[in-house]
Amino acid sequence: MGNDLKNPYRGEGEPETIGVGRVGGWGLIGFFLVVLVIPPLVRNFFDFRNGEPTVLERTLSRDRGAGLVEHLREVEAHVEGAFFTKEPRRLVQHFLSQTFAEGNRKTVIGRDGWLYLRPSVEALVATGPLQDAPLGAASDPALKQWRGPRVAIRKFAEDLEERGIELLLVPVPVKAMVRPEGLGVDGAERLVTHVDAVEFYREIEEMGVTVLDLGERFWELRSEDEVFLKQDTHWTPVAMEVAATEVAEHLRGRDWWGVEEGGGGYEVSEVKGESRGDLVEQLELGEGAGLYETESILLRKVNDAASGRRPESDRMARVGVVGDSFVNVFDDPGLGFGGDGDEAIGAGFAQHLARGLGEPVHVSAINGQGATGARAAFAKLYDDEVRAKKVVVWVIASRDLMYTPTLAMGNSVEWGDVEWNPKLRPDGGPPSAEAGEIVEAILVDKAKLTDPNSPEVNYRHSLFETEWEVLKVEATGEVKDGVRVFFWGFRDKIATEESKIRVGDRYRFRIFPEDAKEGVAGARRDSLVQPDFSESYFGQLVKTR
């Protein structure tokens, strides 16, 4: 072979001269290696010193039940959340925002201080819910399996109708539809809506679902007052109250309403609320950025006239509210406007709807999970609690309805079916732990946690669901299986101690009824795959092993 070898590749290669010298060369190589090696070394050193698992330990230890590919992706996400990325990210974004008014993947910077949620704007210009999603040969196979909203809405409406309950869908317009001028779209004479929106809502109504589209009402309102907050994704208190009033008027017009106008029992008091806005938070400029001031707004808190307290969610109420952060804003302090505490504000949509109706409502609203999570939480009510409802008012950001599969998956929006709790409410009401009971238990299962720095997450706080084999309830000595407890996974985007608990290990923690803990019921959550109809609690670790 040797002498006959005719290698056509001999002589390949570009000419070059390298004149860095040996010493210079080693110096440059050293500089290069310092850039690569020092940041992760420092990170792992601090992890080790603080008792946290290093990257190597995380890579080599996999949670029981987690697939290998899933585990590697989690390791990679953890690596990308390194402390040394935060300051450069902050500085780069600060420079881009200040110099070029350039936002990031979550926030679009418009004119005159207006900020917009980028996925919302992208949803308005993409193919939407009626046109086929642009999927091709190279598309992620998971996108091809994605199910849009129509099937889920139809199924939910049918399930409710079986139980004698109406469904009222209330899609909340997004800011760009009502205030497009902030994006430089001047001269709009009408609501700037998705090309398929009207046809889509018509299809939904043909399923027997009533759609209360607030778009045109908000377009009229904009000439009187601001409809959306400048620096936040959500509506203003004025727009929110208009929405609550519209819904209340619609419900009062139903045959089954039967209560006279002016049912009282609620009072309103004014309080100031301040927040920089979730869209500013998502720019990750840091506290001292100085580019955006807090927005001050006037909130109208609703109080029960008799007790002087915020109207509670009533599981046996005739009206159920299912939704997302548009329901929770101005009530859940985790969304801003409530100061530093955990106390619920009481100025949100559900409270104003209760005031408009003159009677309490039940609320199943979960931040970021209005598509399925909130419905699943509603379906967990006892069967007779569900059947006590006459109507479910489903308040959801219209962008969730308009998303393409790619946008939906990128923003953690999924349209699943829900499983209904077949159990009846026990005599004496739902069982509940004495507030703060201490429990000793073994962790049986734990929901897959979303990384707080993931681009899919738009909220500061998040819960995760766990399942336990209870060894002992300290107060009563009781033992039970299959107890579900929610813990904080992250608070202010920082992973909690509870997020590190491991399946198979034993822990002591305090449990509270989930409904009874403020700021918990509406918080975004990572749930276990298999639904469960036992009561779920909120937990706080007492001691870890």
Q: Within 246-265, which residues bind other proteins (CB under 8 A)?
A: none
91 binding other proteins? (CB under 8 A): yes
Taking Cα atoms as reference points, which of 530, 442, 538, 533 lies closest to residue 489? 538
61 binding other proteins? (CB under 8 A): no
- Of the pair 192, 247, the CB lying nearest other proteins is at 192
CB atoms within 10 A of CB 218: 22
Q: What is the DSSP string of 413-432?
A: ------PPP-PPPPTTSS--
- Of the pair 90, 425, the CB lying nearest other proteins is at 90
Taking Cα atoms as reference points, which of 321, 349, 374, 370 lies closest to residue 165? 321
- Of the pair 75, 528, the CB lying nearest other proteins is at 75
Which residue among 51, 137, 253, 427 contacts other proteins (CB under 8 A)?
Answer: 137
Cβ 463 to other proteins, closest distance in Å? 24
Q: Which residues within the stretch 397-456 sit at the binding site for other proteins (CB under 8 A)?
A: 404, 406, 455
β-pairing verdict for 166-172 and 107-109? unpaired
Residue 278 is inside which H or E element, if any?
Answer: helix 278-281
Which residue among 60, 72, 198, 259 contacts other proteins (CB under 8 A)?
Answer: 72
Looking at 381-448, list the stretches that DSSP marks H as alpha helix, in order from N- to C-terminal side: 383-387, 398-402, 405-410
- Of the pair 301, 399, the CB lying nearest other proteins is at 399
8 binding other proteins? (CB under 8 A): yes
51 binding other proteins? (CB under 8 A): no
State the sign of the Cα–Cα–Cα–Cα dihedral 353, 394, 431, 424: positive
Which residue among 112, 132, 255, 340 contacts other proteins (CB under 8 A)?
Answer: 132
176 binding other proteins? (CB under 8 A): yes
185 binding other proteins? (CB under 8 A): yes
88 binding other proteins? (CB under 8 A): yes
Taking Cα atoms as reference points, which of 508, 141, 527, 170 lies closest to residue 326? 170
- Of the pair 12, 287, the CB lying nearest other proteins is at 12
- Of the pair 132, 340, the CB lying nearest other proteins is at 132
Q: Which residues within the stretch 100-129 sit at the binding site for other proteins (CB under 8 A)?
A: 100-102, 104-105, 108, 110, 118, 121-122, 124-128
Binding range to other proteins, per CB under 8 A, among 73-81, 326-334, 346-354, 495-503: 73-81
Residue 346-385 contact track with other proteins, rule CB under 8 A, x = bound? ----------------------------------------
1 binding other proteins? (CB under 8 A): yes
- Of the pair 231, 496, the CB lying nearest other proteins is at 231
**Per-residue DSSP letter, 10:** T
CA distances 42 to 36, 55, 190, 228, 349, Å, are 11, 12, 56, 44, 47
Which residue among 69, 305, 306, 529 contacts other proteins (CB under 8 A)?
Answer: 69
Residue 189-228 contact track with other proteins, rule CB under 8 A, x = bound? -xxxxxxx--------------------------------
The radius of gyration computed from the CA coordinates of the chain, to the nearest angstrom, equals 26
CB atoms within 10 A of CB 534: 15
9 binding other proteins? (CB under 8 A): yes
Binding range to other proteins, per CB under 8 A, among 75-83, 218-226, 318-326, 459-467: 75-83
20 binding other proteins? (CB under 8 A): yes
Q: How far apart are alpha carbons 280 and 282 in whole angstroms?
A: 5
55 binding other proteins? (CB under 8 A): yes
**What is the layout of strands, in order, in the sheet containing 166-172?**
210-211, 166-172, 391-397, 319-323, 362-365
85 binding other proteins? (CB under 8 A): yes
Which residue among 68, 305, 306, 529 contacts other proteins (CB under 8 A)?
Answer: 68
What contacts 25, CB < 8 A, 6 or more positions away?
A: none
Collapse the DSSP code of 331 into the 3-class scheme (helix H, G, I; strand E, B; otherwise coil) and give the result. Answer: coil
- Of the pair 35, 529, the CB lying nearest other proteins is at 35
Cβ 75 to other proteins, closest distance in Å? 8
Tell me if 164 sits within 8 A of 387, measured CB to CB. Answer: yes
- Of the pair 215, 273, the CB lying nearest other proteins is at 215
Take residue 361 and report the two structure tokens written for it. 């409502």
Binding range to other proteins, per CB under 8 A, among 21-29, 147-155, 336-344, 534-542: 21-29
- Of the pair 378, 403, the CB lying nearest other proteins is at 403
Q: What is the DSSP string of 477-545?
A: ---EEEEEEEEEEEETTEE-SGGG--TT-EEEEEEEEGGGSTTTTTS-EE--SS---S-EEEEEEEEE-
Q: How far apart are alpha carbons 407 and 495 in whole angstroms?
A: 26
Total of residues contacting other proteins (CB under 8 A) = 90
14 binding other proteins? (CB under 8 A): yes
- Of the pair 31, 49, the CB lying nearest other proteins is at 31
Q: Where are the beta strands (DSSP E) in 233-357?
A: 266-275, 295-304, 319-323
